[in-house]
Amino acid sequence: MSDKPKLTKEYPINLDDYPDDGIFEIRLEPNSEDFCSKTGCLRLLIVHQGKYHVIENKCGHFGVPLSNGELRGNEIVCAEHGISFDLDTGEVVNRPYENCDPIKILAIKKKGRMLYLQET
């Protein structure tokens, strides 16, 4: 279990700033109450098949960035070894390798064209 504090601030994302499909790096602005560094937290916004997800940009296997991953239905497939993660739960879908953790998913509230994020 991590000792890092959870994000306590909501982070707004305007969907008008992003295309209708793809994986986009987003940087959450740091605040004094969360674990973001002085440069902020890099996360991935995924817009796919009319759904929205925000995940940590870190594979649960060896921690490589998932920004180079491929979207397949409701899953992201890591480009390194092909492990798939469910975008709603973060759970590993296929298990070709041992020692793979789920990925971290951020909770989203959608209001109009705005998403509001809060780490859970």
User: Residue 26: what are its φ and ψ, rounded to 5°?
Assistant: -125, 145
Question: Does 80 contact ligand FES by CB under 6 A?
Answer: yes
Nearer to ligand FES, 67 or 118 (CB): 67
Question: Does 59 contact ligand FES by CB under 6 A?
Answer: yes
Pick from 13, 36, 78, 106: which binds ligand FES (CB under 6 A)? 78
Question: Does 72 contact ligand FES by CB under 6 A?
Answer: no
Q: Nearest CA to 75 among 64, 89, 85? A: 85
Site residues (CB under 6 A) for ligand FES? 59, 61-62, 64, 78, 80-81, 83
